[in-house]
Amino acid sequence: VLGITLLIAKIDVQKSFFTINWLVMIIASLLLCFFLLNDYVISTIEGVFLFLFLTIFLIYLLKFQKQVVEEELSEDIISLSKLKTLVFLIIGSVGLWGGSEFLIKGATNLALDFGVSERIIGITIVSVGTSIPELTASIIAVLKKEKAISLGNLVGSNIFNILAVVGITSIITPITASDSTLYTHDIYWMLGVSLLLPMLVFMPKKMQLDQKSGILLLLLYGVFLYQTIS
């Protein structure tokens, strides 16, 4: 998603990306790795721990980052009433949910008809399908000159997926990593790309992600798919 977004426009990176968002994403990723590699299971207690970490992070953002957010907001933004904002949020959320459901079900059934494994479906069709809302939001944010929202959307999505989706799901029922490639291959790719982001931000131009970074990320995703499918 970030790779495609960068092909459309460059993104200037705020200092808070490293001091808060990226740091929390790395901590969340390391926690997930530790819990998985410990016994290949995300237990209920571990799920509670992940969700509590997310809760603390959200409280911190709401309590201490409000002034920073207000300073970074564009003067061109038109304020909406709380009711209209809520209505737009509900309509958009339902539309994204419904569209993702249709896309994933249709694509999954099509893939199964051709005898593709569940793992291949998961890292291609399902992952792409669930990322389309993020891609759409990122592209719209870039086109509206709200590039900070674009990058925040992507990093925030990773944080929420680990701490909320994995956390809440494992609270309901423990998650077992039955596919060994998840903790012998995929999880290291996830960490590697996450740790690569700071280097891309400072090279070749400091505090900026450009088209070259986007091409590199897309090439890395291609290598990941090739290693997985072959």
pLDDT of residue 75: 52
pLDDT of residue 115: 77
Count Cβ atoms below 10 Å from residue 57 Cβ, excluding itself.
19
Nearest residue to 26 via CA among 203, 196, 224, 175:
196
What pLDDT shows up at residue 68? 52
pLDDT at 138: 81
- Which residue stretches of the chain have pLDDT < 50? none
CA 200/CA 219 separation, integer angstroms: 14
Does this model's pTM top 0.85? My answer is: no
Q: What is the pLDDT of residues 57-86, one digit of tens each?
A: 999 888 876 555 555 555 555 667 888 888
pLDDT of residue 92: 82
